[in-house]
Structures are given as structure tokens and as C-alpha cells.
Structure 1
């Protein structure tokens, strides 16, 4: 006798059989949110990672990328990864200090060498792993560090040499480390929301600011600034965060595929960012602003003045964990920069 239950089962089986193999749902799907636009380096290379991961797992892992804060601001996305409402985010380290004070080591000026290979050796070596490990008790899994450019200085007052910084007022994110960075130059630092920066430069509330060149271009800060020194003093690094439950449910081989995919695109990511910076610098130079590139000697002078005070502020904020991380960093930095 064919019961209603049997009929329903047969219909369900038939429906499954009629679904084409390519239409079957992926075994593991991850929604990944970030802040940048679809043209910027982070998004372009997240798409590349998604393609690599799909190919290497025979389509069993799918990354769905959501740019431009579609899943919320960075705090909301980070909390979403903790809670499991989204599976991952690629977050600027500078936005994670309130969540994990140890990551604020990235605010220290000239932390990473300018040489891309030396900087990548630090990211992928003992220092990078130790930094990722500091997220273990934060309800997320940190699997990698991505480069996302370097900061430079602009001002409405001359920046002909280091002595010109004395007495000037610079906008910073709300960071004791960055405040000490400017104090070390005899300048003062004022924490202001990013959305207020253009008007603050225009009206003289602050004399200058620090940002990557492509940000200075895209936000039109050069329109209300007279001087730029390409200092490359602040590394803008991204941390790749996954929800621990989602990550833990992955087969180990898929975890390896994902981790290696993020690492594999770093050279392309670095080149893409460099091209964007070069284009931004050309636009800024054509605007008539006074532009100069700091020499290696001047950068060394900047580092000598700013690094230790900023590192001291970091250790005060991050405690024993920060002190240990700085020791690991210094040992590896000395090794890779020889």
C-alpha cells in the first residue's frame, strides 16, 4: 500500500534526482565581509582567493564576498564572526585594537621593513604567527596577515625636514601609540573621527594628517593640504578572521587550502596596491601640492625618533602579551633586515 508518507518520500527523492550536479549546494559556504570597494586591492584579491579555494576543493567550499560594509561596520562584522552570523572578515588591524590590544603593535611606526620580501617574512614567520595566536581567546580564528599599504604625512605647513613637525597639529585615530609617535616629533596629535577630517584640514582645526596615498587621493585630502612627504612610516595591515565553529568543522585539508590561498596572492596584492599608490601620487603631484619622497636616511631618522616612544605606549597598553610579542618581533626583525 502506498501511503501519503511513501508518496512524499518518492516525490522528495525524485526532486533530488532531477537537480543537476552543478546546482547542488556547496558543502561549506562562508560569507566574508569587508570595508573596501570592489575596485580596491582587498576585494580584488579576496575574489582571487575565492576562485582558488573553489578550484582546490572541487567546489566544496564557496566564499561569498560582501564589500563596502554591506554586512555592517568593522566592529559589527568582527562581532558577527564571533557570533557566527557571518563566517569571516578581512579587517584592518588598526580597527581591532579595542577588540585585541596586542594587534595594536601594527600602529608602531616603521614596524615592518620597506622591502616587500622582508616584510612578508615577518608576516609569515614567528612574529606573524605569534600575533595571530593572540586572537585565540577572542572568539575568532586568525589565519593570516595581508599588506594593505603604508601611511604618509600631509600638512598645510612645510614638511621640509623632521624639525618642521615641531608645533604642528596632526589628526590621528584614537590611539595612544599614534599620539606618542607625534609627540616624539614635537608635534601634537588630535583624535578626530575620519568623517570630520576633510573639514578639519580645511578650517585649520588640524594642520595635517597621515594616511595611505590612495586614501589621500580618494578622500580628496590633497585639495586642502599644501605639503606631502612620502614617508611610508605606518604599515596598514589586514587580519583575516574566521568563525571558530565554521573553521573547526572544515576538514584539515580545506583549512590548509584556504590558508595557503590567502598567502599565495600576497605578491599580486602587493603589486596591485603599489599600482594604486603610484596612480594616487601622480594625481596628487599634478594638483600642484608640494610633494617630496623621504630618503632612506630620513626614514631611518624618523624611525629612531618615533619607534621607541610608540613601542613604550604599546607595551603599557598591551601588557605582558605586548611585551612578549615585541621581543619576538625584534628578534625576527634583526634577522630579516640583515
Structure 2
């Protein structure tokens, strides 16, 4: 057989094998790579839940999708990742609800202070609030959609000097992310606010550009903020979970069966995330104490009183009807599921 004939037969066999693999969904040529960006460190709960999500997507789609995870802001900080989600530059991201408010302002209302008191109340709010589900339904028109809600917990403070009451806040600069509701609450407590990406915060505290930051315990521990701001004050002033979102451009490429598989994987990862974060908080606090952090629970009344004006400010900006809808949903949930 001539060399040209041998090559022709070999190429034919290769093409046939590739075609068969594609039809069977087992070949490398049939696999689609998707990009998942987030800002948590590799050892954090977001990364752990993202790994569960990626594994479950692969399992439920017979290996047709390979989700590559980029932690610690490798691709973008939170606002930029959401912009890339809309543009199709990344396929998935997970971030605090307020981070998405740049693209749907009403989501700022989820960051109103002291809406819920327990994890279970927060889960009920995010899974079953009529108002919030209605807002989430508006997001596909923006360019992304919510698949499930992962957990981060309740926001508290880490500061370079003790924070026993709002009086102490008056001498401090507090880092905030780009969210009006968080900024209003911090200013009502007495802080001077400085907006910056979370990826810049550790160094900013270390250099004295700001005196502290506020985030859930899981984030404080993962990003090691207690190392440079060792006073951890557990105010739990805002419930701050993490909607997992998918680019609408990516979603539209999935078959209905694959959409169902991805959503199922997202719900599995949400259950994992909620269980992990809720059951890790106490041990994380103890680990931070062992590393030198000074953890305290202040009298909450003065902080609640300080932020009372935020609700009226929100009514003036977002409309009394919208504010009162989410407040009513939260009140009904607190009544149905009282704190133990």
C-alpha cells in the first residue's frame, strides 16, 4: 500500500473514531469547557461548593461539560465578574446579592439591616419570598440568571481597634463594597466609608488606608482579615448569602435536559454550602481566637437603633411599596420561624 493510501486510511479511522466519540458523548472533542469565577480563597467554602457544583454538572451531563474554577479573583473581582457574566466572558459566578444590584437596583433591599435572625429564616426568605423571586425573574433580561443561593452567613466587623458601640465607629474608616444599602448602614452607625474591591482590602487595612471591613465569618476567616484587623465584633447586622448565577448567553446554549441538570447540580451545591457554612462558624471563630483574634458580641440594641433611619432612606429611594414588600415577607418568616 502506498504511503498516501496509508495516511488516507489512518485519517479516515481517526475521523470515524472522533465522530463516534462525539455521538457517545465520551470523547474530548464533545466536551465543553465552562469558566467559573469567584473571589474566595482556594480553601474557602465557595471554592468547596464550586467543586461540588462542577462535579455534579459533569455527573448529570455524562461528562459533556467541564467547569474550570478560577478562585481568589484570578479572572476578576466581583463587579467585574458580573460584567463578564453579562458579556459572556465567564459562564458562572457566585457573589453577595448586593453585588448584583448594580444591574438591578432593587436587590439592594436584601442588604437592609437585621432582616432575619437565623440561617433558617434566611433560607426561607431566599427560596420562598414572593417579592425576591419576582426580582430574580427580572435578571435574565439583564444577562444572567440565579440558579440557587449558596451560603456565606451574617455580616460582622473586623477592625484594627475595638468596636463596642457606634460611638467607637466615629473614628474609623470602613471598607464597603459598591452597595448603597451597606454604605448607608455603615454611615448611620458612624463610620466614614471607603469603597474598594475585596481583593484590595487586606493590604488596605495593613497600610492603614481603612481601619476595618465587614463580611460574614466564613469570608473573614477565608481571606484572613482577622490577621490585620484582629478585633472581630459579631454584630450579624446583615444576612449575606451568595446567589450562584449563570450567563444567559451560556444558559441559552444548553438543551432543556442540560438546563435541568445544571439547575439540579446548583441545588446540590447550595445544600452543601448551607450545611458547611452554618456548621463551620463556631469552629472558625475558635480558630481565629487561637490565632490571636479578639472576638466579642456587643450589645446589639445601639447598632439596631443607629441603622433605623436606613429603612426610611430606602423608602425614599426605592419606593415605600417595594421596601414594605420585603419587610413584610421577612416579618412573616420571623413570625413563622422564631429564633430559638
Confirm or deny a common fold (TM above 0.5).
Answer: yes
Offset, 1:316 = 4.7
TM-score by length of structure 1 reads 0.78
Offset, 1:74 = 3.0
Unaligned runs of 5+ in 2: 336-340
Offset, 1:120 = 0.8
Offset, 1:198 = 5.0
Number of the residue aligned with 1:16: 18
Q: CA RMSD in A?
A: 3.5
Note closer, same or farther for the CA distance 1:247–1:309 as it changes in structure 2 (3 Å cut).
same
Number of the residue aligned with 2:324: 327
Asked if 1:184 is matched to 2:188, the reply is yes
Distance in 2 of aligned mates of 1:250 and 1:17: 21
Once the two structures are superposed, residues 200-235 of structure 1 have per-residue CA deviations (whole angstroms, 9 ceiling, x without a partner) of 656766554323334444555434546432122223
Residues 153 and 230, structure 1, Cα contact 8 Å, conserved in 2: yes
Unaligned runs of 5+ in 1: none
TM-score by length of structure 2 reads 0.78
Offset, 1:331 = 2.5
Asked if 1:211 is matched to 2:215, the reply is yes
Asked if 1:337 is matched to 2:334, the reply is yes
Equivalent position SS for 2:133:
helix
Residues 33 and 89, structure 1, Cα contact 8 Å, conserved in 2: yes
Equivalent position SS for 2:240:
strand
Offset, 1:11 = 5.3
Number of the residue aligned with 2:50: 46
Distance in 1 of aligned mates of 2:284 and 2:27: 43
Distance in 1 of aligned mates of 2:205 and 2:62: 52
Distance in 2 of aligned mates of 1:146 and 1:94: 14
Distance in 2 of aligned mates of 1:75 and 1:205: 21
Residues 103-142 of structure 1 mapped to structure 2, 5 A cutoff: 103-111=107-115, 113-125=116-128, 126-142=130-146
Note closer, same or farther for the CA distance 1:123–1:11 as it changes in structure 2 (3 Å cut).
same
Once the two structures are superposed, residues 221-276 of structure 1 have per-residue CA deviations (whole angstroms, 9 ceiling, x without a partner) of 43454643212222332232222233123233332332233223334212322455
**Count of aligned pairs:** 325
Asked if 1:246 is matched to 2:243, the reply is no
Residues 311-322 of structure 1 mapped to structure 2, 5 A cutoff: 311-317=311-317, 319-320=318-319
